[in-house]
Structure 1
Amino acid sequence: MSILLENRVADLEQYTRINNVIISGLHIKARSYARAVTAGNGGKPNDLDVSSTEQQVATFLKSKGIQLDCGNIEACHPLPTRNADKSAVIMRFVNRKHKIALLKQGKKLKGSDVYMNEHLTKRNADIAKKARYLKKQNKIQHTWTTNCKIFIKLNGTPEEAKVLMVRSIDELDAYQ
C-alpha cells in the first residue's frame, strides 16, 4: 500500500472518532436493576443502581463545575479497562462543537485523577505520546491536540517558535 493511501485510510479512521471524547479515571457503577432487585432487599433499587452511565458522568462533571448538555450526546458507554477500580467512558456527541465545548472545560478536573481526551487512533495516540515525551525532555515547547490533529510548538524566541501539525511519528525524530 502506498504511503499516500495509508495516510488517507488513517485520516478516515480518525474522522470516524472526531466527535468522541474519552473520559478516564471515573468510578462508574454498572447499571444493574436486576441485581439490585434480586439482592433480597425487596424494595426498589436506589437511584445509583439504575442510573445510566451517561447520568453518572453528567453528575460527576456537574460536581466539578463542568457544564454538559445531555441532549447533545449521541452515545455514552463504558469501555473495557485493565484496572477494575477505574473505568473509561466513551461519549459521542452530535457534532464537534459540543465536544470542543466540553474539552475546553477539562481544566476544572485538575487534581481529580479524571481526564478527558479526544478519541485518537492508535497511530495518532502514539504520535501524541512521543510529542509529550519530547516536551517533558524540553526538546519542544508545547504539544496539544485539536480536532484529533497533533500540534507541537518549537522551542526558541517567539519568532522562532513555530507551531507545526505532526502527521507521522517520523516527523518528531528531527527534534530528538
Structure 2
Amino acid sequence: MPPKKGPTPEEVEDIKTSLGALCGDVAAVRAQQELLLGLLEEVKQLRLQNAQKDRRIMDLERRVDELEQYTRTNDVVISGIKIKPRSYARAVAGNVGEPSDEENRSVEQQVASFLQSKGIEMDLEHVEACHPLPRRSDRPPAVIMRFVNRKNKVALLKQGRKLKGTDVFINEHLTRKNADIARKARQLKKNGKIQHTWVTNCKIFIKLNGTPEEAKVLIVRNMEDLDKYN
C-alpha cells in the first residue's frame, strides 16, 4: 500500500486560516457570554434595589398612615344627624371658607342636643372641635367631633348602643386605609368568613371562626392580612 500523502502547503495554510477564524469566533462568543452574564447580574441587582425601594416605600406609607391615625385618636365620626346648614346670610355672601366659631358651636349644640335626647351623656366642655364633613350623598353630612382627651371619646363610644334602631352611628375616625380594612372585615363577617370584627382605639380586630382554640383574636394592619379569609 502506497504511503499516505500529507497535506500540501496550500492546504496547511487553509487549515491555519480556518482555525484562526474559528478561534476568533470562539473568542467573540465568549465575549458575548461575558457581556450577557454581566447584563444578567446588573438586572439582578436592579431588581434587588427595586424590591428594597418598594419595601422602603411601603414602610414610609405605613408610618405616614400611623401618624395620620394618631392625630385622629381623640376623634369620633357621627353620621346620620341632620345638621342645619350654614346661615342664609353666609351663603348669600358667597363665603365658602372655614365656618365661623359661632357656626361650629351651633354644630356642637345640635349634635349634643340630639345625643342627649337619646339618653347619651356628653359634656361640651370636653369637646375641642366639631365640624361637618363635605356632603358626599343625599344623607346628612357626617360630623367630626374631637375631644380633649381619649377617655372622653371612649366614654361616648361606649354609649353608642343607645342609638340602636336609629340611622345615627358613632365610629372612630379612621384613615382611609383603616376604613377600607374595617369595611372589608365587616364584609367577611357578613359572609360568615370570620366570627366577629370591631374597632378599638383605631385598631381593627377580627375573631376567627372555629373552636375556642381556633377562634383567635387578631389585629389587622393591612388589607393583605384579610385576603386569606376570602
TM-score > 0.5 by shorter chain: yes
Q: Distance in 1 between matches of 2:105 and 2:128?
A: 17
The structure richer in helix per residue is 2
More strand by share: 1
Of structures 1 and 2, the one scoring higher in RCO (CA 8 A, sep 6+) is: 1
Q: After the TM superposition, which residues 156-167 of structure 1 pair with which residues of structure 2 at under 5 Å, given as runs?
A: 156-167=210-221
Instruction: Give the TM-score taking structure 1 as reference length.
Output: 0.87
Cα distance in 2 for residues equivalent to 1:84 and 1:32: 20
Alpha-carbon offset, residue 88 of structure 1: 1.0
- Give, in whole Å, the separation in 2 of the partners of 1:12 and 1:50: 26
Give the match for residue 173 of structure 1.
Answer: 227
Q: Quick one: distance in 2 between partners of 1:132 and 1:110?
A: 18
Q: C-alpha distance in 1, partners of 2:129/2:226?
A: 35
1:25 is aligned to 80
Once the two structures are superposed, the pairs formed by residues 83-94 of structure 1 within 5 Å of their partners are 83-94=137-148
Change (3 A) 1:140 1:63: same
1:128–1:150 contact (8 Å) kept in structure 2:
yes
The residue aligned with 2:60 is: 5
Are 2:124 and 1:70 equivalent residues in the alignment? Answer: yes
Displacement of 1:70 in angstroms is: 0.7
How far apart are the structure 2 equivalents of 1:68 and 1:84?
28
Inter-CA distance 51–171: structure 2 relative to 1 (3 Å threshold): closer
CA distance in 2 between partners of 1:126 and 1:72 (Å): 29
Say which of 171, 191, 204 aligns to 1:137.
191
Corresponding position of 2:40: none
TM-score by length of 2: 0.67
Q: How many corresponding residue pairs?
A: 163
Bigger Cα Rg:
2
- Aligned CA RMSD, in angstroms, stands at 1.9
Report deviation, 1:69: 1.1
What is the aligned partner in structure 2 of residue 154 from structure 1? 208
Find the counterpart in structure 2 of residue 123 from structure 1. 177
Give unmatched runs, 5+ long, in structure 1. Answer: 36-48
Q: Counterpart of 2:214 in 1: which secondary structure?
A: coil
1:55 aligns with 2:109: yes
| SS in structure 1 at match of 2:85 | coil
Q: Is the 8 A contact 2:80 2:169 kept in 1?
A: yes
Q: Is the 8 A contact 1:131 1:172 kept in 2?
A: yes
